[in-house]
Amino acid sequence: MPYIPHTEEDKNAMLKSIKANDLEELFDEIPESLKFQAFNNIPEGMNEMSMLKHAEKLSLKNQNGTCFIGAGSYEHHIPAAVWDIASRGEFLTTYTPYQAEASQGTLQLLYEYQTMIAQLTGLEVANSSMYDGASALAEAILMAVRVNKNSNTNRVLVAGTVHPLYRETIETIVQNQHIEVITLPFDPIQGITPIQELEKYNNEDITALVIAQPNFFGCLEQVDAMADWARANNTISIASVNPISLALLKPPGLWGKYGVDIACGEGQPLGSPMASGGPYFGFFSTRMEHVRQMPGRLIGRTVDKEGKEGYTLTLQAREQHIRRGKATSNICTNQGLLVTAATIHMSLLGPDGLSQVASLCHHNTHELVKILTSIDGVELVFNAPFFHEALISINKPIDQVLHALNKAGIAGGFATEAHYPTLKNTLLICATEMRTDAELLRYGETLKQILAN
């Protein structure tokens, strides 16, 4: 273990103190079969020059086609200044501020981030981020169980239109917490959760309701009615939302008569590149009345005895911060660097910039749907209004179509059948503000040629 800064004398002194002859004796309870034997199937090392040539050769295998894939990860324009600033040493190397007085700049940035997320979601308080959108949703369910003291069943309704990978994450995290997850069916024509499916649970003991907006298919749910149903049935309402959509759509804090109790989502669209799947971060906000049950950490602003403004960690409800078993979260990262980029990104764009991005995303996806559905054999699956994703059906096997599009330099979309077996030969498509009119037309022309063959 070369990075442990102890000399041989140090180690021998410690071994002598605990009456162990050597390190092997210290770990003698570990079976031999579990101990490291040798590095098998590891090639010989390379010198730097050879390694760089090999890496360059491997990089040629990357296929960076024009991206029309969404499904939870989105290609948005990121101003050059975002990562130029986020990569400064003051931000890049600070990571998580455990000693508040030593990291005032980082704490101020996180405080500003919390303010922006609270404004976007229309709720009173936000934490300084979570691990990712999927685990943030699972944490929201755990929080709802703690908050809803009137519920004894720990039954949670989750819309079937919530991202399937989010639902898998929920199952993984809550399955051993004595929480029952009930998946609600969706309307096969509209692609949203029918209110009638909720009304089947009228006056039953339901702990929480999870609503996605826009949902996995890009469709817009009847969020006002769903939030009102939750309030009328003493159910904690949880919104899983796309942050870009909040620049156009009603924030979850204003859904229905009272708004939701908790809002969360994936922050990747706010300044993080797609980057082969991560890393990303989760945002999380709630009502002030629930703040002490909110997972993660909160940055507060105060003044010292001389009246000078300062920032500090407050309500640190994590296991590292002495709470141990009473912690509200055991996920030990807030993805601080990604949050730094998001804060800079939102600051540079401002409300008008975010609104323009959202409008362009909405416009481009509608244009793409119009172009593709004009082709024989291509149809729009659902008829509910959608934001910047839509589900289309194609009269040929989707895998073959995607392979042909890929050969033409087009990442054509996300095949949904693996997660929704009834939706055969369907493709989830997305066109963000990055897509040009020429790229939309090229997609249409290419798909038309593929289907004609």
313 and 420 both lie in a single domain: no
366 and 272 both lie in a single domain: no
Average pLDDT over the chain reads 92
317 and 392 both lie in a single domain: no
pLDDT at residue 39 in the model: 81
Q: Confirm whether 36 is domain-assigned.
A: no
Exposure string (b/e) for 52-90, b if CB count within 10 Å is 16 or more?
eeeeeeeeeeeeeebbbbbbbbbbbebeeebbebbeeee
122 and 222 both lie in a single domain: yes
264 and 401 both lie in a single domain: no
Backbone angles phi, psi at 175, to 5 degrees: -60, -30
State yes or no: pLDDT of 96 exceeds 50. Answer: yes
The last residue of one of the domains, among 294, 317, 345, is: 345
The last residue of one of the domains, among 345, 367, 401, is: 345
- Tokens 């038309």, residue? 448
State yes or no: pLDDT of 143 exceeds 90. Answer: yes
Q: What angle do CA 94, 98, 103 make, to 5 degrees?
A: 50
80-93 pLDDT, tens digit per residue, is 999 999 999 888 87
pLDDT at residue 426 in the model: 98
pLDDT at residue 383 in the model: 97
Q: Report the range of poorest mean pLDDT among 189-203, 258-272, 293-307, 415-429.
A: 293-307
Kindly provide the residue ranges of all beta strands, DSSP E only, lying in 41-143, ordered along the sequence: 66-67, 125-126
pLDDT band at 330 (very low <50, low <70, confident <90, very high): low
Q: How many domains does the chain have?
A: 2
99 and 169 both lie in a single domain: yes
Q: Confirm whether 28 is domain-assigned.
A: no
Kindly provide the residue ranges of all beta strands, DSSP E only, lying in 219-362, ordered along the sequence: 236-241, 262-266, 282-286, 298-303, 309-314
- CATH code of the domain covering residue 374: 3.90.1150.10
Across the range 430-450, mean pLDDT stands at 98
> Can you tell me the distance from the alpha carbon of 173 to that of 445, in angstroms, rounded to the nearest whole number?
44
The last residue of one of the domains, among 296, 319, 345, is: 345
State yes or no: pLDDT of 316 exceeds 90. Answer: no
329 and 365 both lie in a single domain: no
Structure-token pair, residue 435: 């897509």
Its pTM stands at 0.87
Query: Measuring CA to CA, which residue among 447, 450, 449 is closest to residue 439?
Result: 447
104 and 243 both lie in a single domain: yes
Q: Confirm whether 20 is domain-assigned.
A: no
pLDDT band at 278 (very low <50, low <70, confident <90, very high): confident
Q: What share of the chain has pLDDT > 70, as a percent?
A: 94
- Tokens 């922006």, residue? 116
280 and 383 both lie in a single domain: no
Neighbours of 375 (CB within 10 A): 19
353 and 414 both lie in a single domain: yes
Structure-token pair, residue 264: 């969360």
166-178 pLDDT, tens digit per residue, is 999 999 999 888 9
State yes or no: pLDDT of 138 exceeds 80. Answer: yes
pLDDT at residue 78 in the model: 97
220 and 306 both lie in a single domain: yes
Q: Mapping DSSP to helix (H, G, I), strand (E, B) and coil, where does residue 420 land?
A: coil
Q: Confirm whether 50 is domain-assigned.
A: no
State yes or no: pLDDT of 317 exceeds 60. Answer: no
State yes or no: pLDDT of 242 exceeds 70. Answer: yes
Higher pLDDT, 322 or 244: 244
256-269 pLDDT, tens digit per residue, is 999 999 999 999 99
Give the 3-state secondary structure percentages of the chain, helix then strand then coil, rounded to 5: 40, 15, 45
Q: Mapping DSSP to helix (H, G, I), strand (E, B) and coil, where does residue 323 land?
A: helix
> Can you tell me the distance from the alpha carbon of 135 to that of 293, in angstroms, rounded to the nearest whole number?
16
State yes or no: pLDDT of 129 exceeds 70. Answer: yes
pLDDT band at 323 (very low <50, low <70, confident <90, very high): low
Query: Measuring CA to CA, which residue among 145, 261, 257, 158 is closest to residue 201?
Result: 158
State yes or no: pLDDT of 97 exceeds 60. Answer: no
Higher pLDDT, 319 or 10: 10
Q: Is it true that the peptide bond before 252 is cis, omega within 30 degrees of 0?
A: no
Q: Report the range of poorest mean pLDDT among 50-64, 134-148, 162-176, 258-272.
A: 50-64
Q: Confirm whether 281 is domain-assigned.
A: yes
Backbone angles phi, psi at 225, to 5 degrees: -65, -35
Structure-token pair, residue 200: 């089947």
Range(s) of the domain holding residue 428: 66-71+349-452
pLDDT at residue 1 in the model: 44
Q: Confirm whether 337 is domain-assigned.
A: yes
> Can you tell me the distance from the alpha carbon of 8 to that of 22, in angstroms, rounded to the nearest whole number?
11
State yes or no: pLDDT of 209 exceeds 70. Answer: yes
pLDDT at residue 36 in the model: 81
334 and 361 both lie in a single domain: no
Kindly provide the residue ranges of all beta strands, DSSP E only, lying in 117-261, ordered along the sequence: 125-126, 155-159, 180-184, 208-213, 236-241
Most confident of 44-53, 128-137, 231-240: 231-240
pLDDT at residue 442 in the model: 98
Q: Confirm whether 145 is domain-assigned.
A: yes
State yes or no: pLDDT of 333 exceeds 90. Answer: no
- CATH code of the domain covering residue 256: 3.40.640.10
Neighbours of 287 (CB within 10 A): 18
